[in-house]
Chain A
Amino acid sequence: MWTTKTFLTKTKRGNVLKIVREHYLRDDLLCGSAACNFCPHKDDELVLEANPESLCGLFDSNHYLILDTNVVLHQIDVIEEDALKNVIILQTVLEEVKHQNTAIFQRLLEVIGNKKRKFFSFVNEHHKDTYVERNPGEKQNDRNDRAIRKAASWYASHLSIKNIDGQFPQIVLLTDDEKNRQLAHDEGILTCTVSDYIKNVNGYPGLSDKLSKNVIPESCSKDALYPAHLTPTQIHAGIRNGKLHQGTFHASRDNYLEGNATISGCEKSILLQGHIGINRAIDGDIVAIEILPQEEWSKPSDIVLEDKTEDPGDFLEEESQLLTISKADDDITPTGKVVGIIRRKWRQYCGILLPSKFPGATRHLFTPAEKRIPRVRIETRQSDILASQRILVALDSWPRNSRYPLGHFVRSLGPIGDKDAENEVILLEHDVPHARFSEAVLACLPPDNWTIPEEELARRVDLRATCVCSVDPPGCTDIDDALHARRAAAGYEVGVHIADVTHFVRPHSALDREAAARATTVYLVDKRIDMVPELLSSNLCSLRGGEERLAFSCIWILDENAHVLSTKFHKSVIKSRAAMTYEEAQMAIDETSRNDEIATSLRLLNKLAKKLKQRRLDNGALLLASPEIRFQVDSETHEPLDVQAKRIVDTNSMVEEFMLLANVSVAERIAADYPQSALLRRHPAPPPAHFNAFLKAASRQGFELDVSTNKSFSKSLNEAVIPERPFFNTLLRIMATRCMQQAVYFSSGSKTQEEFYHYGLACPIYTHFTSPIRRYADVVVHRLLAGSVGADATHAALLDTRAAQALCDNLNYRHRHAQLAARASVALNTHILFKNREEVESAVVLAVKRNALQVLIPKYGLEGPLYLPSDKFTYNEEENVQICNDIVFKTFDELTVRLTLDSSNLQHRKLVFQLVTPFIPGVSYVQQTKDDQMEVENVEIKTDEKKRKDLPETKNKKKKKSKT
């Protein structure tokens, strides 16, 4: 059967096109039911059971469910529960869901892919008996509803073929659309609302908590608290005639009744105040704004306003007391009000349940961890259990008569204060994919007892006899690099051997797609979220001592001065002699009595590495620093015991030098062989403006730094030393690091050769090759290199510039978030460490702000604001100093501060820095009278952590933390 679909579209040039597409209707599509006597199913095509057990009290006979689009969109949390089985997902629904919300679409696909769930997707749009054509005047939605009903009745009659009455499953259509239910009822289809169905499901307590409370927000005009939103058409018209503006709403962190909206093309953001002004917009939403007449403009209030702890019920409190609006002021900014929502940008939010005043109540308030998000009204019968837990909540709607948005409970993350729960919060809030690996992914793994097959051995260079060893931080289980060095006929032979992850992660497999989506392993202080399953990351790929492993080797012949004479790449089999820590390796080198093969090899490597490093520095590579800290974690409780700055030994830099050399060698090779699609890494030179404050501060200390090139910068940094202050140079480097831009992955086809330059490393081309276990970029580079040396086949996606660039974008996004998550984890552990503890430590001033000093505690590498009361201090913007009488604070000054933890807010604990010396009466901390003398405003450390610039490679080569 053949038909066409016709529709009109608008082209980019503003033209209207009539598009006609073919649409084939088939008679060979299966219904997927085991109760069917008609379709020629094969065994594995039977998805739906012949006798599905009825869970719902409303329907006695067994049945299959058919869901409509809105049910899937709103109730995906319910659908993900194991309770619902034997569900038919129609293609109509699938496509609409895909069109409206890709995230939910992915989740739905996951459910359909899970064999245990018995979800069958039926291609009703291409089935000759279930396809319906749109009628003149019919809305697309109505047509789709009709298609769903048609499919439902087709199933009912199809299953009855050659079946005895009552012995085959019925079809139940779940829809919340009343009109659709009525029509379905008239057509003889069993139907029911989702909430009726779910509430009558037996045996799954808590299922109804997950029901989305989706009401049409504008329909509840009774007892309306908020003005109605405009309809999309009104908004569209309003924006077109210039009365309304489209903007992104940003809620204020400090005042829940205030926010602003950025409008593109508008320099100043628009202030939005009060319940009515914000009118149910939530942070991130795209809203339509009406700008008020100028006489009603206002200024941002500088008070901190938190939503009250108590549940006031559904009324809006008097705002006049809450919002102090002074009209005659210079700070008046354009003010507006939200009149409609263009697009909601809701996600799921972590937070805690507010204790309810009435025991046994089902309606509760939820406070999100993110301060910008208002509280959410949820319904649950498990409040007793949930009260002490961190939970995840999804927003459903915000009707006019509800003070709070309505949401539903998604799942519990664990008890408040529990490390796992807190880690979960960090991962969720940073969008780190951390679910367990799916069945499909695990199916791609080799068996646990995998050994290297003979034919693989034959294909590879056998380096098992070579004395290879690995050097890593203590406790490292994902060892992805190993080294060897020995004398060769002409100079030295040095080899870097990288775990051959691509042997196991084949292109286009589920494993590959998952790894590509995760992009990187994320290291929290006490937890590692692997990019590839543990069997690979900690065993089969990890180059453990004494085990035969597959590797991708890069072998150089170096001369006496560590110049590369020749390079070759090949896949190999190695057997590491020893997996050492940096310290162990250092000891082996230092212990002159040791003359075994490993020690000689290490000494040779160390010697060459020093030459490599010197040459690199001469070329202008920057040695940057960042305050890195390392937690000592209790092996049982995972509680942090102590924190210390990281120690660096020679061997760190030894390994690093050879990894850099390998990366550069590989980069040159793949860039030459794949001019359009090589995955490379670049580090753009920082714009000069970034240096302004830094240079000013340095010159006050008497150093004029030359930042014109990385070479001159490096040189002047080396010279800026104050002998009596050994930390000063490090501090300078820490601050220099903050001036840098982020290094990024890119595809060679998307940039010109000049733009490939890596500023921090001072090399014209760079990539990542050496850590394929924990970075997907390296996996891709491995594949490129394998194709280039003929060790493996290339595949189409590898050669596609556009695909490569899209991949890079995701890698960069994930890497950034992985870093943020790691820092959040450090902050979390710092907070735990300082629980019930106070310390007085020396600190240095990193920056001078309008109301605070940004200080760094070198011992811990901690950083935070030290607030200065504005009545005591005056800020000199010109000089960038804070002055109080005769005391002047400027950058690089040393002070002592007191550190404590403020736990008054469970979700927002923060470190408090208080000044101890120099002593300023009324400001400095004095032991006895601490509370009433000072008012310390605090800002979480977390945010400041976020502002840090990322470190380029030199410093941050290896940031592995152990999970003991």
Chain B
Amino acid sequence: MPPPDLLSSQGLRLDGRRPNELRRIRCKLGVFTQPDGSAYLEQGNTKVLAAVYGPHQAAKSKSSVEGVVVNCQYSMATFSTGERKNRPRGDRKSQEMSLHLRQALTAAIKTELYPRSQIDIYIEVLQADGGAYCASVNAATLALVDAGVPLRAYACACSASMAWRGAQPEPLLDVGHVEEAAGGVVLTVASLPSTGSIALLELSHRLHSDYFEMVLSRAMQGCKDIEIVLDKAVREHLAEGWTKQDVVTI
């Protein structure tokens, strides 16, 4: 039987959330001065920094006349995981993450505006407690906004899993590390909530097709909720007016 313990009989998850609740999201735009755009985002105990450089002239080999080249690098601090990581990046998983980030963010950026240019997006995961990819996409979106890169829509990512409450299947939103480790399925969706389209979808483990719809719609709902949070953060940031990077040094 699937692990029944993810939901208590009172319908609460291990950390006390209800199935349709996101983890606490806190974020801030413009945390650094040197990058063109930067953002910090916390989703529960998962903490991510994102920096955006560009658009700037593309390296010759990468240059494209079609549109801007989006270059992503996903890196995890060696102390970010429970057991220490030996390398911050370059391993298989980080490379895959970089590709997935690029996939999701390219869909959000109006690439056609900057042919022969390049945008660098760097993600640094400071603490990983499940859903690092989702937090990275969300942070990168904020950093892109901070950098003033024109976007089609916010790119938001959210994960969802499945649990049983009695005999009823119940999708869980925004899966934490404990729930991930319990071995259940994790469906990760990066979407552009305002257009309703999916930019990237990834499924780990097996999920019965009967439940796919249900889990997906919960994840999509999560993306919409995240969009609201991000949008609020952006508006607050802009309302603050001048930010660090606007102060010219020397």
Contact = CB atoms under 8 A, between A and B. Distances in A.
A465 interface: no
A126 B1 CA distance: 27
A121 interface: yes
B211 A126 contact: no
Given A109-B9, A123-B10, A803-B1, A21 B207 contact: no
A508 interface: yes
B217 interface: no
B241 interface: no
Given A22-B176, A24-B16, A24-B17, A508 B167 contact: yes
Interface string A485-512: 0000000000000000000001111101
A800 B206 contact: yes
Contacts of A19: 82
Contacts of B82: 17, 19
B113 interface: no
Contact of B15 (A23, A112, A506, A803): A23
B12 A22 contact: no
B83 A15 contact: yes
A126 B2 contact: no
A510 B164 CA distance: 13
Contacts of A125: 16
A508 B162 CA distance: 14
Contacts of B166: 508, 510
B129 interface: yes
Contacts of A795: 208, 210
A25 B83 contact: no
A803 B83 contact: no
B162 A796 contact: yes
Contacts of A457: none
Contact of A797 (B2, B44, B129, B176): B2
Interface in A746-781: none
A20 interface: yes
B15 A21 contact: yes
Residue from A24, A508, A796 whose CB has the most chain B CB atoms within 10 Å: A796
B23 A803 contact: no
A399 to B, nearest CB: 37
B45 interface: yes
Interface in B39-60: 44-45
B178 interface: yes
Contact of B129 (A22, A24, A123, A126): A22
A793 B2 contact: no
A803 B185 CA distance: 14
Contacts of A121: 9-10
A884 interface: no
Contacts of B176: 22
Nearest to A444: B167
B34 interface: no
A4 interface: yes
Residue from B15, B23, B45 whose CB has the most chain A CB atoms within 10 Å: B15
Contacts, number: 74
A265 to B, nearest CB: 31
B207 A126 contact: no
A2 interface: yes
Contacts of B235: none
Interface string B149-192: 00000000000001010110000000010100000010000000
Contacts of A411: none
Contacts of A26: 12, 16
Nearest to B81: A17
Contact of B45 (A20, A509, A510, A799): A20
B211 A796 contact: yes
Nearest to A131: B16
A25 B16 CA distance: 7
B24 to A, nearest CB: 5
* Contact size range, A: 35 or more
Contact of B23 (A22, A25, A509): A22
A140 interface: no
Contacts of B207: 796
Contacts of B197: none
A907 interface: no
B8 interface: yes
A508 B169 CA distance: 9
A883 B5 CA distance: 64
A588 B206 CA distance: 53
B17 to A, nearest CB: 5
B17 A799 contact: no
B15 to A, nearest CB: 5
A11 interface: yes
Given A123-B10, A509-B167, A797 B1 contact: yes
Contacts of A112: 9
A794 interface: yes
Contact of A2 (B24, B129, B164): B24
A512 B164 CA distance: 14
A735 to B, nearest CB: 41
Contact of B208 (A22, A23, A510, A796): A796
A796 B10 contact: no
Nearest to A802: B183
B23 to A, nearest CB: 7
A91 B166 CA distance: 18
Contacts of A23: 15-16
Interface string B3-35: 000001110101111000101100000000000
B15 A24 contact: yes
Interface string A1-34: 0101000000100010101111111100100000
Contacts of B15: 21-24
A233 B129 CA distance: 34
Interface string B201-230: 000001110110000000000000000000
A91 B12 CA distance: 11
B3 to A, nearest CB: 10
A232 B1 CA distance: 35
A4 B45 contact: yes
Nearest to B185: A796
A732 B2 CA distance: 47
Interface in B109-131: 129
A123 to B, nearest CB: 5
A25 B17 CA distance: 8
Nearest to A796: B208
A783 to B, nearest CB: 13
A123 B12 contact: yes
Contacts of A506: 167
A24 B24 CA distance: 9
B39 to A, nearest CB: 21
Residue from A19, A126, A509, A510 whose CB has the most chain B CB atoms within 10 Å: A126
Interface string A98-127: 000000000001001000000001010110
A129 to B, nearest CB: 14
B72 to A, nearest CB: 28
Contacts of B185: 796
B45 A22 contact: yes
Given A22-B44, A24-B17, A803-B1, A794 B12 contact: no
B167 A510 contact: yes
7 contacts: A22-B44, A126-B12, A507-B167, A795-B210, A796-B206, A797-B1, A803-B2
Given A17-B83, A24-B21, A803-B1, 17 more contacts: A15-B83, A20-B129, A21-B178, A22-B15, A22-B129, A25-B16, A26-B16, A29-B10, A121-B10, A123-B16, A126-B12, A794-B208, A796-B2, A796-B208, A799-B208, A803-B2, A806-B1
Interface of A: 2, 4, 11, 15, 17, 19-26, 29, 91, 109, 112, 121, 123, 125-126, 506-510, 512, 793-797, 799-800, 803, 806-807
Closest 8 CB pairs of A and B: A24-B16, A126-B16, A508-B167, A796-B208, A22-B15, A22-B44, A2-B24, A509-B167
Interface of B: 1-2, 8-10, 12, 14-17, 21, 23-24, 44-45, 82-83, 129, 162, 164, 166-167, 176, 178, 185, 206-208, 210-211
